[in-house]
Amino acid sequence: MTQPRAHASATGIAFAAVTSLYFAWGFITSLIDPLVASVRGIFTLTNFQAQASAFAFFAAYGIFSFPAAVLIARMGPVRSIVTALGMMVGGCLLMLAAANLAVYTLVLLGLFLLASGITMLQVTANPLAAGLGEPRRSHFRLTLSQTFNSLGTFIGPLLGAHLFLRGVEVKDGTVVNDAVRAQALSGIDNAYFWICGLLAAMAVFFWLLRRVIAAAAPPAGQPAPIGQLFSKALASRWALLGGLAIFLYVGAEVAIGTQMALFLNDDAVWGPSEAPFGIPLLGWAMGSDGIPGVSLQEAGKAVAFYWGGAMVGRALGSALLARVSAAQLLTICTAAAVAMCLYVAAVGGVSAGFVALAIGLVNSIMFPVIFSLTLERSSAGPEATSGFLCTAIVGGAFLPLLVGKVADRAGYGTSFVVPAAWAGAMIRRSFPTLIGAAGIALSGTAIGRTQADAPVVSVFAALRAQAPARIARLPLRVTGRVQRVSADGDAEYARQWPGTYFDTAFRNGPPLIRIGAGAATYRILLDDARSVVLVRPEPGFYRLTGVQHGTHRLRVQIVSESQAGATRFGGFYAQSGTVAARLVAERRQIEFIGDSHTVGYGNTAPNTACTQDEVWATTDTAQGPAGQLARRYGAGYQVNAISGRGVVRNYEGGAGATLPVAYRSALLTGAPQPVQRSWRPQVIVVALGTNDFSTPLRVGETWPDRAALHADYERTYLRFLRQLRAAHPQALVIVWATDLAQGEIAREAGRVVALAHAAGDRRIAFVPVRRLAFSACHGHPDRCPTGCLEDTMMRTKARREHLRSVVRRLGLAAAGTLAICAGAVDARVRWPGGARAAVILTYDDALPSQLDNALPALDAARIKATFFLSSVRGADILRWRAAAAHGHEQANHTIFHPCLAATFPADPRYTLEAYTSDSLLREIAQQNVLLAALDGRKRHGFATPCGQTLAGGVDYLEPLRQSGLVTYARGVSETAQDLRADASGIDPMHVPARGFAEGATLAQMTDFIAGAQAGGGMAVFLFHGIGGDHLQVSATVHRDLIAWLKRHRADVWVTTLQDALDWAKAHPGGSDARHCDDQEAGRTAACATGGR
């Protein structure tokens, strides 16, 4: 996978050229700061009017970001860069005209055109710099390019102040005479003349290098309509929150920078002082003119240190991110910026000038961290999200106007209150959600990539090659084919087959992950919800950060294949305080055997044209059919597949062991080794034949013609299936094949299954899969949505009935994974939309944390829940009424929540010993009156307080049933049998539920749901406090559960308890509710034809 030298050289030249653009737009952008001060004096403007220069410049980002993205996709990188430079040349010419004609309107037009070109440059250069080289070094290249950008922003104010502000003063009582005005206009003329010439030269240079850059650049995607990109961004909550944060941050940063020279020159700050010249580097850069005090030109040069602080801050921030999570550092820096702005506004004086310059230091990490946090969480996709975030830079157009207005009325120092308020708004509105879902990070130097399907902070490299002191190995479970080997006296696991994964569970602090030698792609998954991906990371120990206290499950999946040689995984290690936790066994097991289609070769790529590096970056076995189907059915899985291998013939007759031969070995290289004997799959899914038949026979191959190849294929495939049967007598074997090669693959695979049937093996089924989308790398299947392969297999009712008959005939109903082929068991309730289970979220006791934390999360995801109300506070009545109006069920939990006296301390009058059945029923009736006032409904459910049903020693549930006061009674416990029970047969007065309290994890909750999915049943959650109050579940875990349910809407129906029971009663098992036939027909057809 090493690039040829010529290609590497061309890539280096292209990257150097692109990096020069970063310097150019950094330099030109920072000229705005001295220009604002200059035009205020030249044209005798107010601060508000002078800040129109910043408005004109940054408004271009809001107007041109999305159109630029579309133009770039159509024109390609080189033409886009040349076009952008041409626009900037046009802006410079307008600035020359403005300087010679002394017309401020032309200044504004010139700045807008300049910024439009810069916007196009930024949208082009960022992905280009990241893509010019190996993917694992993309962060290094972007950081290096940004360093040159920061250098430009440092030099710009120094040169701009020297040219634009010579002799210019704007203090009250000063006048800019004609000579000073002409000198300042001449400085503007000279600056933009030379900039114009340099930009024109750069355009010519890039045009001459067009072939080099085009050869080195990654392939461009298809252009998407502007409206489509914008609507995708607006539909993503994360994109909106990130956009708001960028809008506020850039507005604050630009407002401070553009006002800085005027502020420092003010008599209340540095105007009459000589103190700044006593600071060695600062005094030298300002260059005293010998006149006491700080002139506007000297103050303008000092602004370079505001941007220089940002340059230093980025370097320091990179080091701090190795020890502090990005989310925490973002909050700390923003709070520091607020405090510094308030200090400047409240204290003033010489010290305020130094504090104001230092704001750039804490501002430095905000833009890249907000940008990366948003990209990693947004569901809109990188193109739409990036374009939206670039559009949000328009915040730099609006806040400077407000700061200018405040400065006009209350002074420059007071105007710092405005950026303080905007930064405070970031902390109050945007950051809690962005940070609250921050997920996990690995600490060290950035090298990896992240996936859009799960929220993560960032990816970082190894701490060190040697083991940190005082650590111990954690127990782990290995799924997949490995060999234990020794490395430096410690055990490691060598593997080559894709899809191998390692599990551990822990509490009281995150463990270290040890990655061994060899090139592989790792997906690190925390609690089945948060993931981060490392592409070919360096060996060493990796530390998880951003993990909350509690019990967690950690999985390291190797999602790439390694045909060239084995890679190694070193296991998990406990740090100080980390304790091993119980790891729940995976009772279901599915094995997938096949070729590159099963591997997931390049399956996340946006198009078919892929370099070898892009194949590495886009291959993800966990996102292929094996990983998706296994997740859907809660099963452990092995992927024993090799790209390019066939049954008897490899791709184009290539060398190497065929799959049946390689299958005997734990590793692909070296002598055959025994494989795991503990592996006992209930289902084996096999897809072989693509490489046997997709290319013509070549001269010198073993088979004289296709007929001979067919005979050899059928004989060898049948023998392989018999070997699988001997190893796993009870497994159901599913053979599937695509319609490639004019149907030759499917015909031959079907023939093999027919031969197996004729030989007496009836535990085998053949499934032809047609019209998959082969739009990923080199014409491979792309990543279809969850269930796509299943739905494609189940496309016709006849096929479903055939496979159901196989299931019934084999008596394998206990193997829940057979739902892969047969759909839900006919005897159970068919939930709406083909869902495999109903999930009901219930909340007891009408707690404030439910109103503050649970309801907002539910409403944001449009999920309805059931709240059992008792002891409702008068102050909360309107909020509970609003919850009912949003569709949440409100149910009865009595007025005083009576439990047995031994349960917890309580008023003796309100313990169950003090009640009778009649008195308790009267209280329930009175509570129904309150509920009717809240939700206007006549029917209400009930939950037993504390799950106890003895009032005065007598069970009150049967009298409650006879009274008709409630429609059901929910308890507080359940069994595995309850989860799998037919919901239409549940006794409504004994509805089971499972309680979750402090320490509950997302993994425990999704396991609970998986139990219901296994039998098509109903999972009823019982919560109390959410991020507060008693028996509380973490608000973060609760949000993660809501997010998980939202992502799995196709698999589970999330509804209220009353609606679930009503549906089950109206649609008992065997009814005409449809799973795949009608309601899902549109989704199935779209998926089968490659629609996404």
**3-state DSSP of 890-925:** EEECCCCCCECCCCCCCCHHHEHHHCCHHHHHHHHH
SS3 438: coil
Query: Is 364 a residue of the active site?
Result: no
d(CA 449, CA 458): 8
Q: How many residues does the chain have?
A: 1092
Cβ(497)–Cβ(640) under 8 Å? yes
- Are 312 and 327 in contact by the 8 Å Cβ rule? The answer is no
Taking CA atoms, 626 is separated from 200, 636, 786, 820, in Å, by 54, 10, 11, 11
Q: How far apart are CA 568 and CA 290, in angstroms?
A: 68
Could you give the 3-state DSSP secondary structure of residue 230? helix
**Is 859 strand, coil or helix?**
helix
In contact, 206 and 78? CB cutoff 8 Å: yes
CA atoms within 13 A on the CB side of 116: 18
> What's 762's DSSP letter?
-
Cβ-proximal residues to 468 (8 Å cutoff; 6+ apart), any chain: 512, 541, 573, 575
Question: How would DSSP label each residue in 200-217?
Answer: HHHHHHHHHTHHHHHHHS
The pairing of strands 950-951 and 954-955 is antiparallel
State the distance between the two ends of the chain, measured CA to CA, in whole angstroms. 31
Longest CA–CA span in the chain (Å) reads: 106
How far is 389 from 396, CA to CA, in rounded Å?
13
Q: What are phi and psi of 951, to 5 degrees?
A: -105, 115
Q: At what angle do helices 104-131 and 77-101 cross, to 10 degrees?
A: 160
The Cα 589–Cα 235 span in angstroms is 37
Cβ atoms of 896 and 910 closer than 8 Å: yes
The residue annotated as part of the active site, out of 596, 643, 849, 917, is 596
Q: Which of 66, 75, 22, 54 is nearest to 390 (CA)?
A: 66
Tokens of 167: 């002799």
DSSP string of 542-605, one letter each residue: EEEESPPSSEEEEEEEE-S--SSS-EEEEEEEE-TT-EE-PPPP---EEEEEESHHHHTTTTT-
Give the containing element (helix H, strand E) for 484: strand 483-487
Alpha-carbon distances of 41 from 168, 414, 431, 491, 619, rounded to whole Å = 6, 21, 39, 73, 59
- Contact yes or no for 560/616 (Cβ under 8 A): yes
CA neighbor of 245 nearest in space, from 424, 25, 57, 441: 424
323, 409 Cβ separation under 8 angstroms: no
**Torsion angle of the four alpha carbons 941, 944, 950, 956, in this order, in degrees rounded to the nearest 10:** 0
3-state helix, strand, coil in the chain (%, to 5): 55, 15, 35
Rounded distance, CA 318 to CA 147, Å?
12
User: What amino acid positions are annotated as catalytic residues?
Assistant: 596
